[in-house]
Amino acid sequence: MANELILIVEDSRTWLQAIEMSLNKEGFHVITAKDAIEGYHKVITESPDLIISDINLPELNGYQFCRLIKNENATSYIPIILLTSLGQKQDRFWGLKAGADRYIVKDTSMDALVKDVKTLIDEKKDKARRKPPKSAIIDIKDAAIMSKVNYLFDKLLFESTIMGEIKNLSTFINDRKRLLDEFSKIMTALFDYKASGLLIMSEDNTALYLDLKEGMLSDENVKTVKDFYTNNIKIEIAGGMEYNNKKIHIPYFTESGLNIQKERLGNIFIFNDSEYDITNRNTLSLVGKELAVVIKLMLLYEENERLSITDGLTKAYNRRYFNTQIEKEFEKAKRYNSKLTLIMLDIDHFKLLNDNYGHQQGDIVLIHLARALKENMRNIDFIARYGGEEFAILMSGADEKEGAIVAEKLRKKIESYPFPAVQKGAESLKVTISLGVAEYSADMNLTDDLVKSADSALYKAKEDGRNRVKVHE
């Protein structure tokens, strides 16, 4: 353990002598400084193996001195022990956040201090960091040291401000569009770019939100983004100019991943005519790190909202959300005298299917039926699992003739659909559905009137032999 060089920065002669004596007894070489400015000079010129610094120092305090040392690549490896008479937990927290390796209250025994010194010296040896050669050492003026400190704290304030601005976006996790708008304002304030992209990954809705300044990204630029994610990506214009056919190729870009531990949530991209420097890249990295938490919260919120309105098995909307939507559409049709058609359908002989093949097979049929309905309806149509094997489809802006055409199309599609068998190697199952169609009319006062009309038509379809469409008369 002998020959290691320890720097003590302490303005109290009593404490300085006590620490120096204890370390000398253990064979350490000791150099001293009465304040942080002198201490920094000795760090640069002497390259100590460990630093012990008081917190209450003139001009620069121990926290600032510690941050200054830890922020320099050439000195960041040096272990630092902060000594203080301040025993509050907040003081310890701030000391460790400043980069200190140990935070020791001055009433701690010298034996404990020496033990920590030995432990940190051993850990430093394991890291095998090499001291800078003497030829690289330059004379640094006191003013230059203060300039470094000012720069460091400006940098820390800048970073903490960015972190605060990004964290404030969590206010909008319940409104994706508003969150994207506010994020775009932050990006515009921080970076010069021709285009930016925010890629948000989720199980069924991975989207790239573009903020365009001059034109749509070229196919090559878009491919650059897609190379970060192999599945289908929906592209949306979230800010800047509206989408048009003008495409421009932007030669330079940089990106930052949105990651929480091992979970990848997406990426941020910025494109420009000139290459981004290290400052821009580091700033974008900070933005990405903080934004990842906000995006995770947004996705959790959206998932919770989705689960509250969807059927767990089929992923169609649930009965409760259907009741909410039909009220809205009914009131709209009533107020504006617009068209609204409801299709009610259920699976023929579903109980027999469950009895013969088991409920697991019945679940597979329900899942594939819901999937087939979604694939064959308009994006604006509302599909819900009404209960058991019964589904409801709301068609805004459609009359009963259009509803009947769609219902017949669905009937034929399901009749020919190969429903997978639960038993491996078994043939696919054939399933049919019956459908009832009803249109809103001015004499209907309640949503129940529309539901009863469609349900009555469905009952008639079953009564007449199933696997058919009936329109309410």
Ordered domains of the chain (ranges, CATH): 5-139 (3.40.50.2300), 167-308 (3.30.450), 319-471 (3.30.70.270)
Question: In this structure, are strands 433-439 and 469-471 parallel, antiparallel, or unpaired?
Answer: parallel
Question: In this structure, are strands 247-248 and 195-200 parallel, antiparallel, or unpaired?
Answer: unpaired
When pLDDT is averaged across residues 264-279 and rounded to a whole number, the result is: 92
When pLDDT is averaged across residues 401-427 and rounded to a whole number, the result is: 94
- Pick the closest to residue 365 from 392, 394, 388 (CA basis): 388
In Å, how far from its chain's centre is CA 2? 50
- Pick the closest to residue 284 from 295, 297, 269, 298 (CA basis): 269
Annotate 37-55 with b (16+ C-beta within 10 A) or e (fewer).
bbbbbbbbebbbbbbbbbb
Task: Give, in degrees to the nearest 5, the angle at Cα 55 between 20 and 45.
Answer: 60
| Mean pLDDT score across all residues of the chain | 88
Spatial distance between the Cα atoms of 201 and 180, rounded to a whole number of angstroms: 14
- Pick the closest to residue 249 from 211, 276, 219 (CA basis): 219
Spatial distance between the Cα atoms of 73 and 339, rounded to a whole number of angstroms: 70
Burial of 315 (0-12, 13-18, 19+ CB in 10 A): middle
- Position 433 scores a pLDDT of 98
DSSP state of 172: G
- Between residues 173 and 92, which one has the greater pLDDT? 173
Interval 126-159: pLDDT, tens: 665 545 544 444 556 666 666 677 667 767 778 8
- Position 135 scores a pLDDT of 41
Q: What are phi and psi of 29, to 5 degrees?
A: -90, 135
When pLDDT is averaged across residues 438-447 and rounded to a whole number, the result is: 95
Helix (H) or strand (E) holding 149: helix 142-168
The amino acid sitting at 391 is F
The amino acid sitting at 172 is F
Confidence of residue 160 (pLDDT cuts 50, 70, 90): confident
Q: What are phi and psi of 252, to 5 degrees?
A: -120, 145
User: Helix, strand, or coil here: 366?
Assistant: helix
